[in-house]
Chain A
């Protein structure tokens, strides 16, 4: 009896690790990529309805995109940077839509967020994404920073 209860406890203690490992493996298989970059601050703060100081000149971002299994037209994301760190990282679902003003056939990631609404990214290439403004044009940067994010080689 004691042996059985020990085995039961052992199995129970292993279960959470197995579950976590499975989730991680699943996420890794569905990972499209990590996209990193630094953008100007003020315009995106305005777009995200966040108050910032005039001294804020740049924001460092990491966008992580996961697909829904075999479906490559939708998935989940996390967007980290600016005020969105730790527990405040922006998370939600995305779907592919089409069209910027300059290119009606362009591939666009529309990120949905329950509070912030939608954010749009142009997929300029497999390794380059651009933040789009509310007018669905690529946001225009300055002498120091652009609105591009680049696929990182690894985490």
Chain B
């Protein structure tokens, strides 16, 4: 009887472990995915990095960035971008806009600003002309920077920032 209950306990523990892994979708060595999103103005230097066709209309862009950190390996990312002109009085694109998907490698380098360490995120994809660069201002906010590490300026309508849209992390 005792051995049966031990066996049941082991089976139950295994079931809980398997269920827990399947719910998070995480395998060994994979860390939680970070998802950031935002809307930005269109900018000539960013368009050039993304190799947007110059003939396309681009007034604003929507971004969704999934960062897939890996333990002991290069991290990777998936990036979905939509762009186009405004459909008046909405946050939609006129005629649906256009979309592009990017996948690639992601790594970070340190930078010191005002005596504090920040991370620069480098996103490299075969589809891009060069790296996309972000400064991580805290656990929840990324801001676009150019190759000279200068903040890319947004405007009165849109920021050049991405916000964490999965559960916020404390700083």
Contacts and interface: CB of A to CB of B under 8 A. Distances in A.
A143 interface: yes
A137 interface: yes
B171 A143 contact: no
B127 to A, nearest CB: 23
Contacts of A125: 150-151
A33 to B, nearest CB: 12
A102 interface: yes
Given A140-B163, A141-B163, A143-B37, A148 B154 contact: yes
A38 B156 contact: yes
Interface string A109-129: 000000000000010110110
B67 interface: no
Nearest to B135: A124
Contacts of A101: 138, 170-171
B140 A140 contact: yes
A138 B137 contact: yes
How would you classify the secondary structure of chain B's contact residues: helix, strand, loop or mixed?
loop
A105 B153 contact: no
A100 interface: yes
Contacts, number: 95
B115 A102 contact: no
Contact of B116 (A105, A130, A143): A105
A128 B153 contact: yes
Contact of B159 (A60, A102, A103, A150): A150
Contacts of A107: 114
B171 A100 contact: yes
Contacts of B150: 125
A27 B156 CA distance: 23
Contacts of A137: 138, 140, 171
A85 interface: no
Interface in B139-171: 139-141, 143, 150-151, 153-165, 168, 170-171
A125 B152 CA distance: 10
Contacts of A46: none
Contacts of B21: none
Contacts of B165: 142-143
Interface string A28-54: 000000001110000000000000000
Given A101-B138, A102-B139, A152-B156, A141 B38 contact: yes
A121 B91 CA distance: 26
Interface of B: 37-39, 62, 64, 91, 114-116, 118, 137-141, 143, 150-151, 153-165, 168, 170-171
Interface of A: 36-38, 60, 100-107, 122, 124-125, 127-128, 130, 137-138, 140-148, 150-152
25 contacts: A36-B155, A37-B154, A100-B138, A100-B171, A101-B170, A103-B116, A106-B114, A107-B114, A125-B150, A125-B151, A127-B153, A128-B151, A138-B141, A143-B37, A143-B39, A143-B62, A143-B163, A144-B91, A146-B159, A146-B163, A147-B159, A148-B143, A148-B154, A148-B159, A150-B154
